Structure 1
Amino acid sequence: MTRAPELTVHGGVGGTTARLDDLDRAAGLLHRTAERLALGGARLALAAADVDWVAGALVSPGTFGPAAGSLAAATLGPHGLAAVTARAELLAGGVAGAVAAYRAADAAADASVRAVRLELGRVAGLAVLAAGVGLVVSPLTPVLLAGGALAVKATGPQGVPAPVGEVGADLLWRFTANDALVETVVGAAPGVLSPAGSGPPGLWLPGHPPGGSAELAALLALGGAGLTRLTGRGPYLSEPAGPPSVVVRPALNPATAPAGVADLLRRSPSTDEAAPRVHAERIVAPDGKVSWVVSVPGTSQWSPKAGTNPFDLSSDVRAMAGRRTDAAEGVLLTMRRAGVRPGEPVMLVGHSLGGITAASLAADPLLRKEFHVTHVVVSGAPVAQFDVPDDVQVLALEHQQDPTPRLDGADNPDRPNWITVERDLSADPFVEAAHGRRPLIAHHQAVYGSTATALDASTDPSLAHWRAGAAAFLARPGDEVEAFNATVTRP
């Protein structure tokens, strides 16, 4: 019997930030309660000074004494309004202070971790620089270079013997499975690339990927792009030559609304397509309300030299560096020409570059003025650095062995509107049996599809809350769906 994948859910209604927000609200409620209690105590004090109340002492001195004592106890006694008000205000201040201290400590810890990683990178960069200088001036350099050339030639066209390649793949699999290690390497890289604190960190790969290794070139270039985003400096690849060309056509096959997250991810066009397309679906509910699902393709061209296809490595790099891309412009033009109207809720869905593009658009204030993006669903995408507003619900799927989501060197936010679902593929023998320990199989769309299927079956409270909020985009009886495909090309 096949065991269901184990998922770890971060954020959402059960996340740390959500619990802190609940404590903040509790502190506010306690403060408002204290204010009302204080107001009640003030009214009782005024009643004690009222002329008619004082006159009662002359009319009925026998009953006035006990009544006056009860009033004094209710106002100033150890269990009276004044004491209860003070305790409520003290508790409210304590809760608010604890929440503020936790948030400040968390922010300080994050800043310290980033600083330590950067300093480690600088130390490593200086060591590499010193080693390089030593190699250049060493009299043994010609011998080492000649020996290296002979060794590469002897191993065949791939340059790596099969056993060495298997060991390397296994080591890379183990490396990418360690979240902290990957993020430490990414965080240290700016210092490695610029050990003296100057110079442009970030990676620029002119021409085509070296040795035909598209996957390796993509990882390196994406890592460099993440560094430029973190540091705010560095070269970027392929400035846009102008707005892309977009042709929108009705989809040939009749469409049905997605049933769940697995269906949503299947809407993301495959990166194997020669001409990747943006897919848009107009969903009309029985009550006439309209919502849209817009699916964005991932990277289909791995050369860092920009061509006619905007869903390429240059868009990966620019998007990760926080720059506008032709891919994002193509999605924006698709939404306009497909007929998305202001106020109609939009869900953006994407894998890898598609997810990066979706998050960047949701964080774009200009797009939010034109379109009402309410949900973003991404898989295998480094999106932690995008400032997605709190009124946009983000659902991010990540595999522990997939290095791509960690190329921004940061954890996804833990917020009520942001849910991250993680899956450890090493704990699933079926994935390894089917695909082996190929390092980038963890990034494959089909594997993320199986994770989404498990997510749809999950009863986690955060996921249940997300599904309820995304009901307008999921299949319901009586829905009518119209689908469009858009081809996007650079000029």
Structure 2
Amino acid sequence: MSGPSGPPIVSVTGGADGIEARYTDIEHLAALFDDAGDGLRHDAWEDKALAINGDLLESSILSPGSFADAEGAVIAATVGPHGLAFRAVGMEADALSMQVSVGLLRASDDLARQAMEVLDYGAGYLLGASLPLLGLAGLLGGTALILGNPALAAYLAAHPEARDALLDGAVEDLEGFLEDHPDLVQHLVNGGGGLIDGLLGDLPPAVREALLDELGLDPFHGTTNDAAGDLAGLFGDTEVSVTPGAVDPRDLSAPGSLEQLLDNLGLTNTGADGEIDIQRIGEGDDARYIVNLPGTDSWDDDAGDARDLTGNLQLVAGQDTAYTRGIMEAMAAAGIPPGAPVMLVGHSQGGMAAAHLAADPDFQGGYDVQHVVTAGSPTAQVPHIPSNTQVLSLENSGDLVPLTDGEDNPDEPNRTTVVFDGRTGSIGENHSMDTYSAGGAAVDASDDPSINHALDALREDGFLGSDDSTSTQSYTIAREP
């Protein structure tokens, strides 16, 4: 699938035309068949009563032949082999067959998912247990290569540019391999719990127990989410502060398309660390609010950034973060009234935070969260989002970040995931906002039913294509020292 503009679309899952939506349609059809069968059976017994109608019985004396014909016709039409009761049983049998089929299909899907979880955990465990030996073998092999070839060692020492080129070539080869094998990366990440357990399990029992006690780690991590939560606990958490952001707020126009919506998010992304934008479209009771949420600013957990490594680990584990708490404080400071229509738009960690908030009953209770749009964000760790919220997730097939949840996004009628082929040869560029804006253009041009339903809903709710006035407020979210 591809449109006249933007990179080609590789796959579309979930949404109005997804598998779960079709399962739900079959269940609705089964319910209609079951109700119709109940109605026919009721009518059959009501009509069968005509056979013992007093007037009809009295007519048997005057005209035995016609009475017999009438009795036969009533019986045939109601409880006969082609009558209402027979058809009622057939319709109810069809309803039961559809319900059982959907149940079996869902059970099969769940069984396959659980089997893959077990396989990925086992692969991760074996890798974790083998890493010390693999690392030693790699070190010895590299040392042997250099010692066994003194001329090469001397040349690299005298020509650092050659050494750098060799390293650059190795990095480029690695980037190309990861781009071409995203499924492998996803399975490796999904085995993260097993990897941690394998590393710990290879230690002497006394050392292992002492380390678990000292760090406060659990002895078993069944999933990557469990491992992320345990690791996040090592860094701790702090309070958050929210202050007005840019002195000159970014002038974000009302987006006319998904590409323009992501362009606006790209502008927010150029702000200072921790900044978010809250855009109001319309006035008074008709106002809608778009909250733009950029991704990770720093991998240094001592820098005071709310968008850091700790936040990523906490979100994968399904925990609140300084960032999500700061977003809620910023929305309150912006004066968004309770129950107002809201759309959360996030890149990378910003999309993770958006999905997390959309699944939070307290957050949903404060606002009418109508839409979430994510770009390059792992969101499968959020298993369910209320049906009143439509989620549109964009993932670049060459981007490793959306794979760090270890699983595909859930296939739900209100969650549409679009994977496009925007590979650039660079891991960083594959994750950039420019790449995702181009992906937005491809989505705008698509004729896929699930995509069209998602975009139509964005337009109907006034978040795309509005000519209403707009204003933007910026806020900076930071960890307290």
TM-score range, shorter chain: 0.7 to 0.9
Give the counterpart of 1:279 among 277, 280, 285. Answer: 277
Give the counterpart of 1:337 among 330, 333, 337. Answer: 333
Which residue is equivalent to 1:215? none
Which residue is equivalent to 2:346? 350
AA matched with 1:185:
L
Q: What is the total number of aligned residue pairs between the two structures?
A: 452
1:467 equivalent in alignment to 2:469: no
Q: Structure 1 residues 273, 479: closer, same or farther in 2, change over 3 A? A: closer
Deviations 1:3-31 (A, max 9, x none): 64211221111111111111111111111
Maintained 8 Å contact 1:182/1:403: yes
Distance in 2 between the 1:477 and 1:195 partners?
54
Give the counterpart of 1:366 among 343, 362, 369. Answer: 362
Distance in 1 between the 2:401 and 2:26 partners?
35
Distance in 1 between the 2:296 and 2:18 partners?
32
Maintained 8 Å contact 1:191/1:197: no
Give the counterpart of 2:468 among 469, 476, 479. Answer: 479
Maintained 8 Å contact 2:268/2:276: no
Q: Structure 1 residues 445, 231: closer, same or farther in 2, change over 3 A? A: closer
Distance in 1 between the 2:38 and 2:13 partners?
36
Which residue is equivalent to 2:218? none
1:450 equivalent in alignment to 2:438: yes
Q: By how many angstroms is 1:237 displaced?
A: 5.3
Distance in 1 between the 2:409 and 2:185 partners?
14
Give the counterpart of 2:8 among 6, 9, 13. Answer: 6
Distance in 2 between the 1:44 and 1:160 partners?
93
1:85 equivalent in alignment to 2:96: no
Maintained 8 Å contact 2:345/2:351: yes
Distance in 2 between the 1:395 and 1:92 partners?
33
Distance in 1 between the 2:448 and 2:98 partners?
28
1:419 equivalent in alignment to 2:433: no
AA matched with 1:297:
P
1:256 equivalent in alignment to 2:253: yes
Q: By how many angstroms is 1:300 displaced?
A: 1.9
Q: By how many angstroms is 1:377 displaced?
A: 0.3
Maintained 8 Å contact 1:295/1:348: yes
Distance in 1 between the 2:171 and 2:361 partners?
44
Distance in 2 between the 1:156 and 1:401 partners?
34
Maintained 8 Å contact 1:319/1:360: yes
1:16 equivalent in alignment to 2:19: yes
Deviations 1:106-136 (A, max 9, x none): 1001000110111122223333345568999
Maintained 8 Å contact 2:246/2:271: no
The secondary structure found in structure 2 opposite 1:110 is helix
Q: Structure 1 residues 416, 151: closer, same or farther in 2, change over 3 A? A: farther
Deviations 1:158-206 (A, max 9, x none): 9954144234323333323323211211122322332277679xxxxxx
Deviations 1:135-164 (A, max 9, x none): 99xxx899769959x969839779954144
Give the counterpart of 1:408 among 405, 409, 418. Answer: 405
The secondary structure found in structure 1 opposite 2:430 is helix
Q: Structure 1 residues 131, 464: closer, same or farther in 2, change over 3 A? A: closer
AA matched with 2:275:
R
Question: TM-score, normalising length from structure 2?
Answer: 0.85
Tell me how large the CA RMSD over aligned residues is: 3.2
The secondary structure found in structure 2 opposite 1:123 is helix
Distance in 1 between the 2:143 and 2:245 partners?
60
Which residue is equivalent to 2:217? none
Q: Structure 1 residues 24, 174: closer, same or farther in 2, change over 3 A? A: same
Q: Structure 1 residues 314, 122: closer, same or farther in 2, change over 3 A? A: closer
Maintained 8 Å contact 1:121/1:192: yes
AA matched with 1:424:
D
Which residue is equivalent to 2:119? 116
Give the counterpart of 1:376 among 372, 378, 383. Answer: 372
Give the counterpart of 1:309 among 305, 309, 318. Answer: 305
Distance in 1 between the 2:239 and 2:144 partners?
48
AA matched with 2:173:
D
Q: Structure 1 residues 278, 143: closer, same or farther in 2, change over 3 A? A: closer
Distance in 2 between the 1:151 and 1:272 partners?
44
Q: By how many angstroms is 1:73 displaced?
A: 1.0
Pairing of 1:26-105 with structure 2 (within 5 A): 26-105=29-108
1:385 equivalent in alignment to 2:391: no
Maintained 8 Å contact 1:244/1:329: no
Distance in 1 between the 2:105 and 2:340 partners?
38
Distance in 1 between the 2:229 and 2:144 partners?
38
Deviations 1:215-256 (A, max 9, x none): xxxxxxxxx9x8344675444354332232332679646553
AA matched with 1:112:
A
Which residue is equivalent to 1:204? none
